[in-house]
Amino acid sequence: MKKKILLFFGTRPEAIKMAPVVMALKGCKEFAVKVAVSAQHREMLDDVLNNFRIIPDYDLKVMTENQSLFDVTARILSRFEPVLKTERPDLVLVHGDTTTTLGGSLAGYYLKIPVGHVEAGLRTYNKHQPFPEEINRQLTDRLSDLCFAPTLQSAKNLLRERIPKEAIYVTGNTVIDALLWTAKRERPVQDDKLRKAFSSPHRLILVTAHRRENFGAPLREAFRAIRELAAKFADTLWVYPVHPNPNVIQPAREELGRVPRVVLTEPVSYPDIVAALKHCSLALTDSGGIQEEAPSLGKPVLVLRNVTERPEAVKAGTVRIVGTDRARIVREISALLTDRSLYRKMANAANPYGDGKAAWRTAEAIRHYFGFRRSRPPEFGV
């Protein structure tokens, strides 16, 4: 009899990273696969679903205007419960560190349904950075029966926390699967401003910033650094797809809206982001996904955070943490834009996050868990 697998996610980053897992599991004859989405992020989620041609079996539609963490958490739990009671899956798969992740794993635990956590074990051990993602991820790992660690370091974190060794599989990060799949599919750039930026002779700098812990003064400080750098380097063009959160939109418009060679766009599709990564000289970001994706395309990454749960890239030299201090951001980016040897060193460093086979390893690990495979699958980085 086929085992029922229910994948549950709700934001754009989760959807990007779970799409390869959906495809890999649907290719396994032993599984009956269904997808439920919380729609914690509505439009940005739908863009990814369309790109990967995923049609959810359940849509909880939890997103509301100016939603709080309390509201989202409560709606996810109350709306996911009847889905689980109807489907009674053999395994619930969640991803990463969002409120949807925590809500989905907690709901599965309440109903004594096994939970698998894709991208488990990432840690800063600072419960406020990233907020609330660090605690979401730690709690989800404690609630999970299977932990799919993207790297050996994340697996070591889990072992230190006494997660059973047999529950941990090192798979690589599925975002690399999604990135490589999307990069191979040549398609016209959809966003007009982005298309125009690609034809510019200027060096393109991609900016993404939306982290909750950076709201307020830290975000404005970072934007003022961009303003200073744009004035300092006349051969640069700064492209920033602005996150729809009002806490991001307002300061972005006020600080950067009229700055020459700074282009603010609406959120762009995932294929457009991949295209931007291919075209840019470097990325300035507080996003976890960009830290993993950009090195695969040979692009240095400067991180607008004080700590990162992805230290492997920092150790490898592809990523550098700069925080949100204006002077430090200006200093670090100026060095990359003027020192060719420093730039080449970061651009040519090896990506420690994956080889495009993480979804396959995840599916094989689940086959092993259910007894459809005798031996454990080969692990990434081992």
Catalytically annotated residues: 97, 119, 133, 210, 212, 243
Widest Cα–Cα separation across the chain: 65
**Is the Cβ–Cβ distance between 291 and 303 less than 8 Å?**
yes
Task: Give CA separation, 139 vs 11, 111, 131, 152, in Å.
Answer: 19, 17, 13, 20
Token pair 């295209």 is at which residue?
A: 275
DSSP labels, 53-119: T---SEE-----TT--HHHHHHHHHHHHHHHHHHH--SEEEEETTSHHHHHHHHHHHHTT--EEEET
DSSP one-letter code for 297: G
CA distance 310 to 287: 11
Measured torsion, CA atoms of residues 105, 373, 165, 11, in degrees rounded to the nearest 10:
-30
Pairing of strands 146-149, 115-118: parallel
Q: Say what the alpha-carbon torsion angle 268, 272, 275, 279 is, to the nearest 10 degrees.
A: -40
Residue whose tokens read 């975000």: 219
Q: Which helix (H) or strand (E) holds 302?
A: strand 301-303
Q: What residue ranges in 125-167 does DSSP mark as E strands?
A: 146-149
> In the structure encoding, which two tokens stand for residue 97, read together?
């560190």
Quote helix, strand, coil % in the chain, to nearest 5.
50, 15, 35
